[in-house]
Amino acid sequence: MTGALWRSAFVAAFFALHPLTVESVAWVANRKNLLSGFFWILALWSYAHYAKKPHPGRYLMVFLVMVLGLLAKPTVVTLPFVLLLMDFWPLERVLPIASGQAVQTPKRFTPAGLLIIEKIPLVALSAASITISYLSSRQMGIIIPAEVLPLGLRIQNAVVSYLVYIEKMIWPFDLRSLSICKDHFFMENRDNLRSPAHHNGLAVRVARRKPYFFVGWFWYLGALLPSSV
């Protein structure tokens, strides 16, 4: 989609070989990660195909692939919002990339409102999946009540999770710490919690000049949200 073949190949190889993804390969119990990842990527490809030439049949393909992804793992609920980011870049359905390169062929942009309306069926899928997951988890008694883990602490844990995953991506050591409670980590590192907010501001400021940074950062924030709170 970006046209950057070798950079894309590097990112794909980095993702495939990084220790953070080893569980999906080594543990059969994590087959859901592999399946949801497969359908997630297939949905992105299908959506790019649809965006190139919108057609009900192509949209239906995106819808069906998302259903399969949700059946594999509910974390696919963030997909509609990622597709909105893709509309900005690299699909350029909203604004052209401010890269300094001349556009050789005229582009036909879609109003932002229509792009949002276009995602409503997919958002409805996400809402249904969230409801079903919550009800089934509550029935099985695996939801931690607010009395035990209040909202404030959940938000703190989410912020810490964003920082920890960045750290582990750059230097993947002591990966078992990702599966334990990070309350003490938060108390010891509260001064560092401004980092995500700083990145948000930076991503917005450079959105026109470096759209990949804007899309990549908010993609990271959104995709991690279901498993961080």
Over 50: is that where the pLDDT of 63 sits? yes
Higher pLDDT, 144 or 67: 67
* Shared domain check, 119 and 164: no
Residues of the domain holding 111: 1-143
Q: Which of 92, 117, 143 is the last residue of a domain?
A: 143
Q: Which of 108, 143, 178 is the last residue of a domain?
A: 143
Over 90: is that where the pLDDT of 48 sits? yes
Check: CB of residue 39 under 8 Å from CB of residue 68: yes
Closest residue by Cα to residue 220 from 212, 180, 185 = 212
What's the average model confidence in pLDDT over 186-212? 71
Over 50: is that where the pLDDT of 80 sits? yes
pTM for this structure? Answer: 0.84
Q: How confident is the model at residue 178 (pLDDT cuts 50, 70, 90)?
A: low
Indicate the number of domains in the chain: 2
* Shared domain check, 191 and 84: no
Residue 172 and residue 20: Cα distance in Å, rounded?
A: 7
Over 50: is that where the pLDDT of 106 sits? no
Express each pLDDT in 81-104 by its tens digit. 999 999 999 999 985 544 444 444
